[in-house]
Structure 1
Amino acid sequence: MLPWQRWGPARPALLALPGFAVLGFSTWAFGGVAVGTGPFLVLLYTWAALHCRRRVLVALVVPATAAYVVPLVLTRQPPVVLSSAFILLPVAVAVALLVEAQARHLRDDRERLERIERWRAAMIGALAHDVRSPLAAVQMTLEELAHEATGPGSRMIEAALRQTARISRLASGLLDLNRIDTTGQLRLDVQPVPARAAVLDALSYVAAEIDVRVEDGRTLRVDRERFEQIVINLVGNALRYGRPPVVVSVTGDGVTDRLEVRDHGPGVPEERRSRLFTRFAAGGAEGVGLGLWIVRELARAHGGEARYEPADPGARMVITFPALAGTPAGLSDLPAESSTF
């Protein structure tokens, strides 16, 4: 209830003074019996060590000594009892100094990590903002050229526009992920989206043959850009770490929609599965290991979940979403349609 933050870091030590007074009074009231005084004296010193600096602990030696010795003198205790102060007080101070040193190291480490985190968040935010401005100029130039280009040049400009749009989405996603770290919130534009069209649009950025198994009439309740980001990340991982064919399917039971990306590679070792969707779980020369963590965060923002399921052979990454109300259950086995992008 007291404004200690405004009064400085040493002010909480003042609470130790009434504590010492209570200990001294209790020792005197019980006729100089100091059996219970020692442990509480050490506890008071330990509490002070968690909140105060070393110089405060040294300053507390005077009231602590008074709280222990004065009641013994007033109750006429023999010298052998008085001499116990020369053992107890140094022990209490030594314990307090050790606790203070560890607490100081922990505080310093926490402050250092907070500074690093602030610097990282500022760097990511600045990078994402700085990329978007020149990217917009490039996109406008390519759109102007697209009106006049024909033949192979037109297809090249179209591919460049797709990649420019992808970079723009990645920059926006980077800002959103930074917002997850700082505020724990991610804004989504959730609306009914044709599942097959969304999957095919996402795969237009992938230069590989993918088997798409999504029925035409299925509709998902998702943020379309974030859904495409999930598909791109999962398919990219399947192509990088697995073996073809890579199969993308969307099914549902009327309550939950299920996006599944499967490869036919060696799968994920059992010892790595528990941390598969954590940060930096699969980093290395080919990436920093954030892709699956991003997928999990985007799935949770939709109210769903991300998980790994073993396949025989291969790996199966499954993302679930709450189904759109009134959506009928689809077929679980649809004929594969191979598309090359």
Structure 2
Amino acid sequence: MLGVAAIGNDASHARDLLIVAVCDFVMALAARLLPWERWRPNAPALLGLFGFGVLGLSTWSFGGVASGTGPFLVLLYAWAALHYPRWVLLAYAAPATAAYLVPLILTRQPPMVVGSAFIFMPVTIIVALLIEAQARHLRDDRERLARIEQWRSAMVNTLAHDVRSPLSTVRMTLEELKETATGHEERMVDAALRQTNRVFRLADGLLDMQRIDSTGHLKLDRRELRARTLVQEALQYVRTDKEVVVDVDDDLMICVDKQRFEQILINLVGNALRYGKPPVVIRLEKDRLEVRDHGPGIPAELRTTLFGQFAVGGPEGVGLGLWIVRQLAVAHGGQAVAEVRDPGVAMVITFPVTAKG
């Protein structure tokens, strides 16, 4: 395109510019259409040899003026440095030098101009080697991170599945015990079943984290549900020995995935009870869920990373809860934010809701 555009500015070299443009187009077409993936990984580097030939032709066509081709030679070397190993750059040295030097000799350029090759080419090669070293380090880091991520994914999946298997036996045993239990024993079995189900949800949460990381989204089963009932059912899985106030209208309906909503509420109320002070107030109105505590609030150094993975871990957790909350909120088409209150903090989740009747 540059060659064709230059014809308007330099009609005397129209034929030469057109030849260079056609050669560039053929090289681009070869880069696009040839089945490089079937050949060796470094096979596309052969295009560089053709590119050096075109640059040499261009310099010769313009009477040995290399000021227009020098930058393209550097650009070609930079492209190779980003994609190919060091030996390719060193193998390029001879054809690249020839592409720069031979047209100058053929057009009888002064010794000072010809001698510029002995400064220009070493500098170009050194710069390319520096780029290649940095690109190689980045590729090595990326491969290392990929191996770590693969290991982490396998660990999370294994942990989640290994937790679920023995829990299935525990749950079946508790359900059998419940059939004959009475009074206080029945209440204890019910509590054990609730907590068993809670651990199942935690295992599901680990799997959710893996799915979010690998696919970027979650499949939701959204339904129109009564908000107050949903909140009360979710609170059965939270120890509410501290004061929890539910401020939700009896007629309010909310369009959410029931299990995911419970995950959101359990995580937020659990954090409020663990790190804040009572009362913990749950308020749900229109398009927002708010869980507020009356504790010391969030330290300033944590506010920017609050919803990140492993951001607020400690002795009582690994710091995944708020990250999962945000991902679940986003999956519902909403957001999760922390709002400073005096005293305390309010975790606010937005998602679509409708009022019945």
Report deviation, 1:163.
0.4
For the 8 Å contact 1:202–1:228, the answer to whether it is kept is yes
Report deviation, 1:238.
0.8
Counterpart among 326, 347, 351 of residue 296 in structure 1: 326
* Structure 1 position 24 matched with structure 2 position 56: yes
> Where in structure 1 are there 5+ consecutive unaligned residues?
329-341
Counterpart among 76, 80, 95 of residue 63 in structure 1: 95
Q: Which amino acid aligns with 1:172?
A: D
Match of 2:155 in 1: 123
SS of alignment partner, residue 233 of structure 1: helix
Match of 2:305 in 1: 275
For the 8 Å contact 2:336–2:350, the answer to whether it is kept is yes
Q: Would you tell me which structure has more helix in proportion to its own residues?
A: 2
Report deviation, 1:20.
0.9
User: Alignment RMSD, CA only?
Assistant: 1.7
* Structure 1 position 224 matched with structure 2 position 258: yes
Scaled by the length of structure 2, what TM-score is found?
Answer: 0.86
* Structure 1 position 195 matched with structure 2 position 227: yes
* Structure 1 position 327 matched with structure 2 position 356: yes
For the 8 Å contact 1:12–1:51, the answer to whether it is kept is no
Match of 1:317 in 2: 347
Deviations 1:102-151 (A, max 9, x none): 00111111111112112211221222122222211110101101111223
Deviations 1:284-341 (A, max 9, x none): 33322211111111111112221122212111111122113x536xxxxxxxxxxxxx
Counterpart among 251, 254, 263 of residue 293 in structure 2: 263
SS of alignment partner, residue 309 of structure 1: strand
Match of 1:335 in 2: none
CA separation in 2, counterparts of 1:278 and 1:40? 44
Alignment of 1:1-341 (within 5 A): 1=32, 2-207=34-239, 208=241, 209-252=243-286, 256=287, 258-270=288-300, 272-324=302-354, 327=356
Match of 1:332 in 2: none
Deviates more, 1:267-276 or 1:98-107: 267-276
Q: Which amino acid aligns with 1:67?
A: A
CA separation in 1, counterparts of 2:144 and 2:162? 27
SS of alignment partner, residue 351 of structure 2: strand
Report deviation, 1:271.
5.0
For the 8 Å contact 2:251–2:356, the answer to whether it is kept is no
Scaled by the length of structure 1, what TM-score is found?
Answer: 0.90
CA separation in 2, counterparts of 1:134 and 1:196? 33
Report deviation, 1:8.
1.9
Q: Which amino acid aligns with 1:212?
A: V
Match of 2:22 in 1: none
Deviates more, 1:11-20 or 1:52-61: 11-20
For the 8 Å contact 1:188–1:223, the answer to whether it is kept is yes
SS of alignment partner, residue 283 of structure 1: coil
Q: Which has the higher contact order (CA 8 A, sep 6+)?
A: 1
CA separation in 2, counterparts of 1:295 and 1:36? 57
For the 8 Å contact 2:77–2:125, the answer to whether it is kept is yes
For the 8 Å contact 2:305–2:311, the answer to whether it is kept is yes
Report deviation, 1:54.
0.6
Q: Which amino acid aligns with 1:58?
A: L
SS of alignment partner, residue 125 of structure 1: helix
Deviations 1:153-189 (A, max 9, x none): 2221111100011111222232222111111221222
SS of alignment partner, residue 213 of structure 1: strand
Q: Which amino acid aligns with 1:260?
A: E
Match of 1:333 in 2: none
SS of alignment partner, residue 192 of structure 1: strand
Match of 2:14 in 1: none
SS of alignment partner, residue 230 of structure 1: helix
Aligned sequence identity (%): 66
